[in-house]
Amino acid sequence: MDPVTHGLIGATASQSFADKRSFRVAAFTGLASAMLADLDVFLGSASDPLLNLELHRQFSHSIVFIPVGALIATILLWWFVKKYLTLKETYLFSLAGYATAGLTDYFTSYGVLLLWPFTDTRYSLDIISVFDPIFTLGVILFTGMAFYKRKQLFAWLALGWAALYLLFGFTQQRKAVEVARQLANQNQHEINQLIVKPTIANNWLWSIRYVAGDSLYSSGVKLLPFSEPEIFPGEQTALLNWQKEYESFRGTTLYNDIARFSELSGDVLIRHPNHEQVIGDGRYSMLPITLSPLWGIEVDTTQPNQHVEFGTYRDANEEVRERFLEMLF
């Protein structure tokens, strides 16, 4: 989730068991601890662009690392809060805040290495967008009331709001999955891999991607309460068989980097339609109906022993914005 929501949920977790004396300091401690995990965005190497992607949402978001992350937060925060909290209280509030970091990202897309170092599998529920203003506003309202009045009741209301909204997201996703299966049946496609995610900043316009045969198919669906699903037909493109296409480069840095990016992209690799040398992550695009990847790697076969370049290709021009709003509203 976005840093603000991360921090607020961490603050709420700490507030939920704080007394009036320590209530506001507990909120500050939980907020800072929850945001600490996302400092992994600064980890990486200038010579190896994919390393940053591999480390983001990795060990710092693992369940095993929670006690360690809380200890680091305690050390960093102790000098600011020691007048108000004991060392034990500081650690407990840090623990509550830090524990929310990986778990809240788990509800979004892209994936979290929750069980690192036992497995490198990225887990994600895909039931809420990384940024959802309705969700965040509810958390702000109740967490702010809790902070102002120093009452646990509002902290619990904030957690209740979060739980209800996530439950709504789960039911929306189930509906979108059913629509996806119906579309595949209509087109006589056998789904090999299904990817259903909410689009940015909302929970009623969903992106549907599925792999059938050697192709990737996209579509969008709007799911409003008490209304029939509204389906937006999308595009089709061939999956990139990178193992075959780059077989002659096996053992090189180039080949290994493509393999790494394939793993990070859930093995859904496609050519970028506007950049011939770019291999993109087919799961994400600006619009649910298009197959123009938001990010990818630029492959230079003339330098097989150099790391690939990673780039973003977000094109939020007026036409794209208008089409998104048209589908959304």
pLDDT value of position 51: 96
Cα(29)–Cα(101) distance, integer angstroms:
13
Cα(176)–Cα(264) distance, integer angstroms:
24
Return the ∠ at Cα 30 (arms to 22 and 98), rounded to 5°.
140
Average pLDDT across the chain, whole number: 97
Token readout for 44 is: 């990486």
Instruction: Express each pLDDT in 177-200 by its tens digit.
Output: 999 999 999 999 999 999 999 999
pLDDT value of position 110: 87
Cα(160)–Cα(9) distance, integer angstroms:
11
Cα(269)–Cα(239) distance, integer angstroms:
6
Please identify which residue in the block is written with the tokens 């009045």.
149
Cα(43)–Cα(20) distance, integer angstroms:
38
pTM: 0.94
Beta carbons within 8 Å of 28's beta carbon, 6+ residues apart: 11, 80, 81
Report mean pLDDT in 10-residue bins for the chain, 329 residues.
95 96 97 97 93 95 98 97 97 98 94 96 96 97 96 97 98 98 97 98 98 98 96 98 97 98 97 95 97 97 96 93 96
Instruction: Express each pLDDT in 105-136 by its tens digit.
Output: 999 988 999 999 999 999 999 999 999 999 99
Token readout for 71 is: 């200890």
Return the ∠ at Cα 72 (arms to 70 and 78), rounded to 5°.
95
CA-only gyration radius of the chain, Å: 22
pLDDT value of position 269: 98
